[in-house]
Each structure stands twice: as structure tokens, then as C-alpha cells.
Amino acid sequence: MAEKEKKPKETKRVSRREFLGTSLKAGAGIAAASVASKFLRSDKYSPHSIFASGEKKIEYTPKAGLAPGMIGGPTGFEGAERYQYSADEAPGRAVDALRKLKAEGKAPDKLVIMLPPGAVGHWEKPYPEDAPLAKDVFFEETGIEVVLADVVETEQTTKLIQDYQTGARAYDTYSYWSDETQDLAAAGALLNLDEFVDKYKPDWLDPVWGNVGGDVATTSTSKYLGSVYNVVMDGDYQLWVYRKDLFEDPKEKREFKSRYGWDLQWPETWEQLDQISRFFHRPDKGLLGCTDIRNQYWGFSNWFQRYTSFDNPNQYYWDDDMNPLINSDAGIQATEEHVKSLEWHHKDAISWGWPEQYANMTAGGAAITCAYPNMPKFLDNPANPDSKVVGKLRSGVSPGRVIDGVLVRRSVWWPSIGHGVAANGKYPEAAYLLLQWASSGKVSTWLTANPAGYYDPWKIPHFKDPIVIGSYKDWHINTYVESIKRGSPPIIIPGVTEYRNVLDTNLQQALSGQKTSRQAMKDCADEWNQITDRRGRDKQIKAIRATRPAWPTVVDRPTI
Amino acid sequence: MLKKEIKLGESGAKESVRFGFFLVLPALVMLLFIVIFPLLASIYLSLSEWSPMTGGGTRWYQAYQFWGWLSNYWNILKDTEFLIALLRTFIIVTVVVPVEFFIGLGLAFLFRDNFPGKKIFHSIILMPMMIVPAVAGFIFYMLFQGQGPVNAVLSGIFFKEVSILWLQHKVTAIIAIMIADIWQWSPFMFLILLSGLMSLPEDQINAAIILGATRWQRFRMVLFPLMKPVIVIALIFRGMEAVKIFDAIWLMTTGGPGTATESISVYMYKHGFKYLKWSWVAAGGVLILILMTLISMQALKPIKEQEEKEA
């Protein structure tokens, strides 16, 4: 075949008559084939497929390799049973319903899902090696092909709004940052999923298979005005990682204690974190104190953590009447700390993004950093030849503040990939069922364990799965779970993009010395008020009140 | 008889006009869709307060439900961020365009005469212009890092460590962006001015030489007046392009720190594609269009006056 391809192409002049004749024959052939395919059974499907016994009949023969009582799931690799499901479980219900819809002609042959390029691997790469592809398993069980339409993360919102506005209906499900759910729902682009949730009962709140943080986390990431619009598919929590080798070095411990009067250990408060960061900041020796990022668009996630821990149980962004709370002592101090921390960052900190931060930590260039949960997966990995920190990392829950004797520590989730059903999609029910299947405890565990994509764990079973634990490191799992429980939401009301960008711009102006922290918070609050008035204060008040259940209540007793 | 012939001639002319009209009709229809429709749609949207995020699910053509007359225009003219972005853009243009002009003019005079390796140098000089602007922006982003090559070169020159945070300070960031723009677009000026210079009539220049004019006199009294239309066109072209500066800023600073390097294009992009404020951006676009039309008309005045004089 290869030899054949190498042969130089013969050039032959084709007359107009010959060309037309050939075209007609080819056209007739294609037409005949397309008509015939409607009547002929395709051999493409395996014998256990729902098509094996005819398109209209729903006589499903369980495929080989399934554990007793299971109706679907991946097969063919060690431990596959962990991800298989019965008809009584959420993914089983989704598959069953899709088969029925398909038989009734209410489900399509293809579902087009928008997703970021970094998530394509979860569907298109096998893991473990001998496992089937996730999209093939779905096709085999439902007869519906999953078409993956990747759209770069920063363009997702624009693309989906264009799709909705132009009526192109190019996608059945959209993907976006979960904190934009409310904006997109209010814009009418996302479908209200309450009816389907009631009908098909996903396992998002199940105590065994559900989301860590239960109803609070689900409300935080997925609801708008009390209704579900988003199916969260990612656990982007900002987690703190530090150099264990430095923290446990006897010389460092001695010196630290003599300077600050307390034992060097993972800190509980921001003040303690700043002391440790300052202590380790030795740029002349290639070591930075702390590299939680400060750049435009991403850096404000670290401000959120400092700010939201200012009150027990939470320091909100607005009060119940949509009056900004950031133009306060809490907001000003959080900003001052945010700016002051540049002292122990890299001097290019304002323009440092994730690539610089990850590369620096790979080289052991910082004592502490705050990043996505996947940092240990990549860096504490003997298979990573560039990593100089294999076996040298540990993680800790976000520091906080002691308020009236109680330790308030607030992590933040941001941004987390979410999927929603396109409001004007052609097959909304089938699209929802695909999301229920993919987000179910069992299937999502299998998807998340796959290192070919960047979905991070967020559900209870993820943190018990041996593949996920192996990948994310057992020492990191507890920090991860505890951080989710203390995870405060970012801004999640309609107008999030505008509010967030105003905050980001003002923080950047404070960081670059264009404004004082006080001025930045005042300006931000003023602009937030303008946005609120423009969007309708009453509507926004309703929205902010509906987000209150999304805030965590977990607090601790200080021990240091 | 004569009358009849004339009449026939008129009808022939009419037919000819009609035929001509049909010939240009496809182009007119294309123009209607490419230029007129988007312009009308922009004006329509700009008069509403609609945005895809606040429209409660309505489509852009239903923007009349959120009719606001001139409220967007009024509000955008009160928006300090917009006004500062506009001012900043004009500052950038008034700095980079003259610098690019003088570099281009100097090089054009240099390349008017023959010298060894002229063709190679000619190609090298034009190279920056051929680089994709986004790539050029990224190159300069790397060059201007705190520990990047620019600081390394400066350290070598001054024999002490120079660590200017180019992209993190509002003034140095703008300077870095201007340098990137000048590097990339001076060749464009060079190209236009060189072609203008090469097309000048040699006899007038030779006459000036025979009459004993110095180089400066030849430039001031012969070359410059002859080059004037080319210079005006070059400045207008480059000025109009420079107003749209985007790539270098987006790649180097994304408009930051804060909004310190936000040009009008970056402002429009952010508000249009990030904040999805479509009617707001439409109003901004219409305002910019009016402004640019007025400036271009003003800039083209000397050429028109010269044409009228010559006529």
C-alpha cells in the first residue's frame, strides 16, 4: 500500500464527455448507496450493540466483560468493573433513556459537544492503555456518536453566545467556565435542567457518588436562581503546594523559629504564610518565597482567598441589597496584602502566568505556590525528567484568619469547566442525558483518571479511586477534599464577566502602583454599582440572595 | 434626420449606461452586504441598550425592545476608560508614525543610490513587515521580560545590572509597545517612500545639481515638494493602520498593567468579545468611524488643494 502511494501519479487528460459521464455514475452510485443504507443493517456495530437486533427493537444483550447486574460501562482492562453501572444508577438511567429516545426517533445519530482542547483527551484517548475510548463506549451503548468540537477556553463564551444569537445550532452542549453559568443562563443560552434532573435523577448529591461538598458545592457551581443550568465537569480549586524538603530542613527550622518565634510548618493564617514566604525569599540563590500568581485575568483568584476569609463564616462581595462590601477595611487590607506579597514573588510576577509558575516550581524555584490541583500530578512524578521536586512536595489548606477565636480558611474554586445544554439545541433531552452519563460518579471517575485530559477531580468517588489517587498523590488528596469543603465561590451572579473584569483591572492597577489599595477598592465598588444599576438592581438582589447557600460554613479552631 | 441620429445616440448612451449598471451590479450587491449591511446593523445596535448577556434571550435583531436612542453614545463619551484609550491611541500614533516616517525616509534615501549588497539589505529591512503581527508581539514580549535580552544588552552597555520591568510599569510598557510597532512598520514607510523617490523625474534633480544646489537644498526645494503627495499618502495609510494597533499590545501586555496600555482596539475587543457589550461597542465603532473620517478628510486636504491648483 505504501509502495502504491509512492508511485508518481499518472497524468491523463480527461475529456469533458468522460468527466461528465464519470460524475453522473459516481453521483448515481452515492445516491443508491445512501438509499440502500437505510434498509441495510450496518456491520459497523458489534453484536452486543442495541442495533444488533434491529433498529426499532430494544433488546439489549449485555456486552461481554460486564460484571453481573451491570448494563454498561467500560470493559477489557483490570479494574473496569469499578466504572460499570446497573440500570438503577445514574449513568444506567441515562443510557436506558437514550435507548428509548433513540427507538422513538427522538434522539439523534450524533451529539455535538463543545469542549476545551484540554478535555478532548478524556474522550478520545484510551486509559488505561487497553481500555476502550469513552466516546466509543457511549456509542456502543446508545447508538449515538459523540462529536467533539473543541473550542479554546478563552473563546468558549464568545462562541456559544454567537451560536445562540445567530441560531446556528451547531452544538448540543456548550462548555464554559462554571462561574459564568448565571450570566449564560440569564442570557437565555443555557437550558433549565430542572425537569430532566427530576425525571432522570443524576447522582450529583448522592452521598457515595455525588459531589464533594454536596448541595453547597453543587449550588455554587451549577445553579441560577435556584434552578440547575450547569453540569460541572471539573474541580478547579486553587490549592497550596510547598517544598517539604525546605520545611523539614533542621537548619531552616532553627533559623525560622529564632526569627519568628514559632515552629516552621504549613501556616494557618495569611500573616504566617507571609512570614514563611519572606523567610524563604532568596532570589539571588534561585529561590522565591511564594509564587501564587498575580497576573491579569488569573491573579485575582488569590485575592479572593485573602478577602473571603475576612469574616465568619464568610466575607461576601455584596450584602443582601447588592451594596459592594469590598470598599471596606477587609477589601483594602486584602488588597494591601495582595500588593505587598510582590516582595517575595518573582520580579515579573505581574506578567507571570501558569506556564512560568509551573516551570519555576518544576525547577524547585519557589518554597510555596498556589496552583490547580494537578500540580503534584505533573511535578511529583518520577516520569517527568525535568522535575527537580519529585518526592519533595506537600500541600496545605488555604491559610485564613482568626475571627473571634475561630479560624476561617477559604479556598476558592475557579474557573472549573462546566457543560450546559444549548437552549436552542435540536435534542435537549438527549444532550442532557449525555451530560448525566458523563458526570455520573462512575463514568466521571473513569474520565477524570485519564491523564490525557485536564479535568480535575471533584466527586467523592474520584478521591477513592486508586488510579486517581495514584495520579494526584495520596498526600494531596486530603488537602484537596478539605479545600473543596472550604471552597468559596468566585463572583457567580449575572454580570460576572463585567464585575470580575472591573475587579481584575483595579487589582492590576493597585499591583502596578497606578492606584492605592483604598482607591482601587473604591473605584471597583463604584463601577460595580454602575453595573448593578445598568442590569437592574432588583434582579441582581434576587440573584445575590439566591447564591447565599453556595457559601461554605466550615470553620476550624486555630492550632498554631 | 439629424435629430433622429442624435436621439439614437442618446438611447445608445442610455443602453450603454444600463449595460454598465448590470456589469457593476454584482459588485454593488457584494458591497451592500460587505459594507452597507454591517454598517447599518452597527448603527441600529448602537441605538439600543441590548447585549446578548442582558437581553434575556432576545436576538440582536430584537434590539429595538431595548431602544435607547443616543444613550450609548452619551455614556461612552462619559466613559473615562474609552476616552483615555482613545487619547492613548493618538499618543501612540503621534509618536510612532513620525518616527517610522523619518526612519523610512532615511532608509529610502540610502537605498536610492547603489551600493554593494543593496538587494540583500533591501530584503532584510523589509523582513519585519512580513512577520505576522502576533508573532512579532510575542517576540517583543520575550525580549522585554525582566530577565530578557533587552535588559541583558543594557547591562552590557552600562556595565551594571539593569533590571527594568518593562511590561509592568505603565510608561515603560507603552515605550516597549511603541518600539515593537516602530520595528515592524518602519519598513512599510521605507517601501512607500522609496517607490515614491524612485519615480521622481530625474531631469529636475539633475537641473538642480547643475545649478549648484546643495544636497539639503535639493531635498528641501526639489525632492520634498515632489514627494509631498506620496508622503501624505504614506502618513495617512500608516496613521490609519496605527490607530488600529492591537496585536503587539495584546501579546505584550493585554492592555495592562491595569489598563495602562489599552488602545482603542483593545478596549473595543475587551468590551465586544469579553464583556459582550455589543451595542456599546457598536456605538464606539460608529464614533471612531466618524472621527477617522474627519481626520482623513483633513489630512487629504493638501492633496486636493494641489490637485485643484494643477487643474
User: Residue B5 — very low, low, confident or very high, per pLDDT cuts 50/70/90?
Assistant: low
Which CA distances in Å does B229 have to A68, A231, A341, A522, B217?
Answer: 86, 62, 56, 52, 19
Tens digits of residue pLDDT in A11-52: 344 444 454 444 444 444 444 444 333 333 333 334 344 444
Q: A154-163, B29-38, B93-102: which range is least confident on average?
A: B29-38
Query: Fold identical between A80-233+417-457 and A239-413+490-550?
Result: yes
When CB atoms are compared, the residue of A188, A348, A498 closest to B275 is A498
Q: Residue A211 gets which letter from DSSP?
A: B
Coil, strand or helix at A324:
strand
CB contact under 8 A, B257 and A535: no
Say if residues A89 and A69 touch (Cβ distance below 8 Å): no
Cβ contacts of residue B104 below 8 Å, gap of 6+? Answer: B186, B187, B188, B189, B190, B191, B192, B193, B234
pLDDT at A57 over 50: no
CATH of A239-413+490-550, one of 2.120.10.30, 3.40.50.720, 3.40.190.10, 3.60.150.10: 3.40.190.10
Over residues B97-117, the mean pLDDT reads: 93
- pLDDT of A169 higher than 90: yes
**Sheet containing strand A145-150, strands side by side:** A145-150, A110-115, A173-177, A417-421, A231-232
All three cell numbers of B58, joined, read 432576545
> Which of A327, A315, A316, A350 lies closest to A523 in space, CA to CA?
A327
What average pLDDT does range B55-80 have in this prediction? 91
pLDDT at A149 over 70: yes
- Interface confidence, given as ipTM, is 0.71
pLDDT tens digit sequence for B126-173: 999 999 999 999 999 999 988 889 999 999 999 988 888 898 888 999
Whether A512 sits inside 8 A of B275 (CB atoms) is no
Tell me the average pLDDT across A290-312.
Answer: 95
Residue-level pLDDT at A22: 47
The residues spanned by each domain of chain B are 1-78+277-311, 86-253
Q: What is the pLDDT of residue A53?
A: 40
Listed range (A308-317, A536-545, B300-309) with the worst mean pLDDT? B300-309
Decide if B274 touches A, using CB distance below 8 A.
yes
pLDDT digits (tens, 9 = 90+) for B218-267: 888 998 889 988 998 899 989 999 999 999 999 999 898 878 899 999 99
Share of chain A above pLDDT 70, in %: 89
CA distance A514 to A507: 10
Q: Please give the share of chain A, as a percent, with pLDDT higher than 90.
A: 78
CATH of domain A80-233+417-457: 3.40.190.10
Q: Given this model, what pLDDT does residue B274 score?
A: 83
**What is the rounded CA–CA span in Å between residue A25 and residue A203?**
54
Dist. CA A252–CA A257, nearest whole Å: 8
Contacts of B147 in chain A (CB under 8 A): 348
The predicted model gives A459-470 an average pLDDT of 94
Query: B202: pLDDT confidence band, cut at 50, 70 and 90?
Result: confident
Which pLDDT belongs to residue A207?
A: 96
For the residues A196-217, what does the mean pLDDT come to? 95
Tell me the pLDDT band of B4, cut-offs 50, 70 and 90: low
Band of residue A7 on the pLDDT scale cut at 50, 70, 90: very low
| pLDDT tens, residue by residue, A403-419 | 999 999 999 999 999 99
| Residue B172 sits at the chain A interface (C-beta within 8 Å) | no
Give the A-side interface with B, CB within 8 Å.
157-158, 161, 164-165, 167, 183-184, 186-189, 296-297, 346-348, 350-351, 423, 494-495, 497-498, 501, 505-506, 508-509, 511-515, 534-535
Residue B296: the pLDDT is: 85
Q: Measured in whole angstroms, how far is the alpha carbon of residue A96 from the centre of its chain?
A: 27
Report, as an integer, the average pLDDT of A130-149. 96
Residue scoring higher pLDDT (A344 or B201):
A344
B164 inside 8 A of chain A by CB: no
3-state secondary structure of A372: coil
Grid coordinates representing B211? Answer: 545649478
Q: Among 1.20.90.10, 3.30.365.10, 1.10.3720.10, 3.40.50.300, what is the CATH number of B86-253?
A: 1.10.3720.10
User: A167 to chain B: which residues are within 8 Å by CB?
Assistant: 59
- All residues of chain A having their beta carbon less than 8 Å from the beta carbon of residue B256 are 296, 350-351, 508, 512
